[in-house]
């Protein structure tokens, strides 16, 4: 007579952990981005970037602020949270040397070309996307500040040639950020599954 052996327990995968500072950064980033997005659409409706005042408007349920001044107040308030959040997190990444694991290097470019390891390629692509968004962030903040204080920061506004070019550059940053968020989340899923994304917020 043989005794039935209890089934072996499979070890649950170890969940990734994130520092409290990383979680605060992601929450602040996400909330301020949504506020800037919807208030920015309110500002857009007051004077559409494309098509003049008779151009296409966004529906009211996608806007925040109720009118132009209200949209501007929400937008610029969230902008300061967003910019300062990026600033302190950038300092944190530099001081803690997390940049060595977050941003692309020559080895990542080489891995994308010749590596046969799918996981290594995912990591390399993730870091490349993470690095590529930096100049877009700088351009977005610079163009936003130039519109916020065009007289005080006239030297910054002049870098964009004219007002319409300045507005267009700033507006184009919106779909780029949406695309970045989607790609960033997709690559995080491929690298660390849903647990990696949850670890950034929970």
Query: How many domains is the chain built from?
Result: 2
Task: Express each pLDDT in 164-186 by its tens digit.
Answer: 899 999 988 878 887 887 887 78
Res 124 pLDDT > 70: yes
Q: What is the mean pLDDT of residues 8-13?
A: 52
Domain ranges, residue 151: 103-202
How many percent of the chain have pLDDT more than 70? 85
* Shared-domain flag, residues 157 and 74: no
pTM across the whole model: 0.76
* Shared-domain flag, residues 117 and 202: yes
Model confidence band, residue 14 (pLDDT cutoffs 50, 70, 90) = low
Model confidence band, residue 8 (pLDDT cutoffs 50, 70, 90) = low
Both tokens of 34, joined, read: 């949504």
Res 20 pLDDT > 90: no
Q: Is 1 inside a domain boundary?
A: no
* Shared-domain flag, residues 180 and 110: yes
Higher pLDDT, 47 or 42: 42
Q: What is the mean pLDDT of residues 50-55?
A: 71
Q: What is the mean pLDDT of residues 9-28?
A: 70
| CA count, 13 A, side-chain hemisphere, 52 | 1
* Shared-domain flag, residues 63 and 145: no
Q: Is 11 inside a domain boundary?
A: no
């Amino acid at each position: 007579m043989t005794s039935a052996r209890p089934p072996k327990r499979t070890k649950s995968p170890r969940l990734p952990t994130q520092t409290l500072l990383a979680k605060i950064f992601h929450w602040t980033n996400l909330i301020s981005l949504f506020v800037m997005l919807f208030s920015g659409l309110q500002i857009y409706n007051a004077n559409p970037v494309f098509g003049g005042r008779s151009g296409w408007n966004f529906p009211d349920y996608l806007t925040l602020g109720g009118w132009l001044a209200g949209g501007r107040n929400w937008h610029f308030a969230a902008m300061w949270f967003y910019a300062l959040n990026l600033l302190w997190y950038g300092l944190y990444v530099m001081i803690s040397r997390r940049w060595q694991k977050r941003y692309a290097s020559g080895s990542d470019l080489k891995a994308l070309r010749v590596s046969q390891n799918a996981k290594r390629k995912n990591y390399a692509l993730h870091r490349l996307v993470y690095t590529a968004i930096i100049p877009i962030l700088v351009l977005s903040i610079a163009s936003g500040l130039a519109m916020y204080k065009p007289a005080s920061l006239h030297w910054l506004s002049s870098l964009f040639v004219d007002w319409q070019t300045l507005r267009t550059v700033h507006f184009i940053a919106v779909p780029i950020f949406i695309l970045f968020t989607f790609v960033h989340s997709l690559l995080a899923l491929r690298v660390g599954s849903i647990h990696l994304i949850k670890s950034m917020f929970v």
